Amino acid sequence: MEYVLTAAEMKQCDEQTTTEYGIPSLVLMERAALETARIITGRYGTDISVGIVAGSGNNGGDGIAIARILQESGVSVQIHLIGEEAKCTEQTRMQIRAARMLDIPIHYGMDNYLYDVIVDAIFGIGISREIEGKYKEVIEGINESHAIVVSADMPSGIHTDSGKVMGCAIEADITVTYGYRKLGQLLYPGTDYTGELICVPIGIPDKLVENTKKGIVTFTKSDLRFPKRNHGGNKGTFGKVLVIAGSKNMGGACQLASTSAFRIGSGMVRIYTAWDNRESLLRKLPEAIIDTYADDEQEGLSEEETDRLQKGISWADVIAIGPGLSTSAKAGTILSYVLEHSGKPMVIDADALNLLAQKQDLLQMLEHGRNPVRREIILTPHLGEFARLLQHPVSEISQNILKYCRSFTQKYDVTLVCKDARTIVTRKLKMTYLNTSGNDGMATAGSGDVLTGMIAGLLAQKMDSYEAAVMGTFIHGLAGDIAKERSSAYYIMSQDIIWSLKYLTEEYKEADNS
């Protein structure tokens, strides 16, 4: 698990490292410079020319320190100071004095881009306004150059918290970030400007970011975990999932969710679906138990249909509802019945979310204090569905997605999985999880249905709702990455994500045994 910091959190860590642990800020700057210089010489050797483009803040000080260390290694280096020297921070002025003592050429402004490597140390994490004037000219000049561009800590022009381009931004080949990854490096479009992201330690104690419920974390491959298998278990041991999905002509959504629940380890899957899907499901998924209802214009369920639904609820350990369900009156009746008559853990997705948005009385049932049985509920909206739940425009939510996700789980007693290019998982009093696995090939019909089944399958195997949501999202992305590696982003269909679980579970088993 890795912590992901905002600009304010990073600045607080820097300050506390100095005030509480007695480590001077110049020591942190020196460590950052050493690590960056080591990466540059390790990748490109010392027979290169390097231009350091330094601003007047501490990020500029990082850059000037990098210049000094590179010169010590035999690299031909020059400094271009952007901004007024009189406005430089104290640490940056100290670095300038040291550079002068060592006869490193310092230029005011940038009129030469003919370097093998350009180090961007203009703004770092401090940018908060649109870039214009000479700064814009310099950034555009760097982007148009043929040099390899290495950003120190943050590509200049990318907002540290949102990943937004502040007018223009450095298009880095490599970003060497200090201490912890920054949120704007992982959110789009910031990710595209960051290039290869390398996080290096600079001496900030981890204690400063541990044990907080307000922070953001992301996973790496070493965090992958599947539920432990009971070697003496039977099919009931590994959990029973009821999938309520698939209206007429939407049986595929039901099949994808049910198959992925099986493939991630669930012992049994029961399906409650429209009658029209029955024959196809029996052929394609004979392992599942199939119950049906008539997908007609009637609002209510017949006594027999209600009885089948109740038997499924009683039988199940976990319920997944929504994929391909439709927003018909009958679908609304099914959702209402499940919410009113089940205390089982539940994953609510797709059309069931749209029904919640239409039926505010049902959504209110999920508020804190209105969930007497304390059932575990996971909502898995994409950005459009989330906007409908909140009754806010997508454009507004996307400007500060983290704020809206956290606010939602402060009001509702649920785990929220907000699906986007970077999926976010939030729950009250839990760390916010930012998913970095996955790729654009997964933007394909049915991918969300697969995720629903995966999360439900993990829930059925006794993961709690937050862990199942986080790990399910992470696994879903990793499986998508394997599918891309084995073919291409163009080729991926949702079934390929499910089939790729085979290779992911094999990797996990090998790592677990080693």
Q: Are residues 174 and 301 in the same domain?
A: no
- On the question of pLDDT at 495 being above 80, the answer is yes
Q: Is residue 415 part of a domain?
A: yes
- DSSP per residue over 21-85, as a string? H---HHHHHHHHHHHHHHHHHHHH-SSSEEEEEE-SSHHHHHHHHHHHHHHHTT-EEEEEE-S-G
Q: What is the CA radius of gyration of the chain?
A: 27
10-34 confidence digits (pLDDT tens): 999 999 999 999 999 999 999 999 9
Asked whether residue 487 is assigned to any structural domain, the reply reads: yes
Summarize the confidence of residues 329-337 as an average pLDDT. Answer: 96
- Extended beta strands in 312-448, E state: 318-321, 346-348, 377-379, 415-418, 424-426, 432-434
**pLDDT, mean of residues 339-358:** 96
Query: What is the C-alpha to C-alpha distance for residues 288 and 270, in angstroms, rounded to an integer?
Result: 5
The CATH number of whichever domain residue 28 belongs to comes to 3.40.50.10260
Are both 316 and 427 inside the same structural domain? yes
Domain shared by 196 and 314, yes or no? no
Q: What mean pLDDT is reported for the chain?
A: 95
**Tokens read off for 424:** 């976010």
Instruction: Mark whether 115 and 248 lie in a shared domain.
Output: no
> Are 339 and 436 contained in the same domain?
yes
Domain membership flag for residue 275: yes
Tokens at 231, concatenated: 């070697």
Residue 512's Cβ-count burial label (10 Å; 0-12, 13-18, 19+) is exposed
Number of separate domains in the chain: 2
Tell me the residue range of the domain where 187 lies: 22-210
For the cut 80, the answer to whether the pLDDT of residue 374 exceeds it is: no
Regarding pTM above 0.75, the answer is: yes
| DSSP 8-state class, residue 207 | G
What pLDDT shows up at residue 210? 78
Structure confidence at residue 506 as a pLDDT band (50, 70, 90): confident
Statement to judge: residues 318 and 464 lie in one domain: yes
Q: What is the pLDDT of residues 57-76, one digit of tens each?
A: 999 999 999 999 999 999 99
Q: pLDDT by residue (tens digit) across 388-405?
A: 999 999 999 998 999 999
The beta-strand segments (E) located in 322-372 are 346-348
| Residue 335 is assigned to a structural domain of this protein | yes
**Model pLDDT for residues 431-465, shown as the tens digit of each residue:** 999 999 999 999 999 999 999 999 999 999 999 99
250-284 tens-digit pLDDT: 999 999 999 999 999 999 999 999 999 999 999 99
Q: Which whole-number Å values give the CA distances from 441 to 147, 322, 487, in the listed order?
A: 31, 23, 10
Question: Where a domain ends, among 210, 244, 276?
Answer: 210
**Of 120 and 512, the one with more pLDDT:** 120
Q: Is there a contact between 159 and 166 (Cβ–Cβ < 8 Å)?
A: yes
Are 337 and 447 within one domain? yes
Q: Which residues, other chains included, contact 472 with Cβ-Cβ below 8 Å and sequence gap of 6+?
A: 264, 417, 451, 454, 455, 457, 458
Quick check: is 218 in a domain?
A: no
Residues 257 and 326 in one domain: yes
- Asked whether residue 431 is assigned to any structural domain, the reply reads yes
| Residues comprising the chain, all counted | 514
Confidence label for 302 from pLDDT (cuts 50, 70 and 90): very high
At residue 37 the predicted structure's pLDDT band, cuts being 50, 70 and 90, is very high
Q: For 358-376, what is the mean pLDDT?
A: 87
According to DSSP, the residues that pair with 369 across neighbouring strands are none
How many Cβ atoms from other residues are within 10 Å of residue 87's Cβ? 11
Position 513 in a domain: no
Q: Is residue 12 part of a domain?
A: no
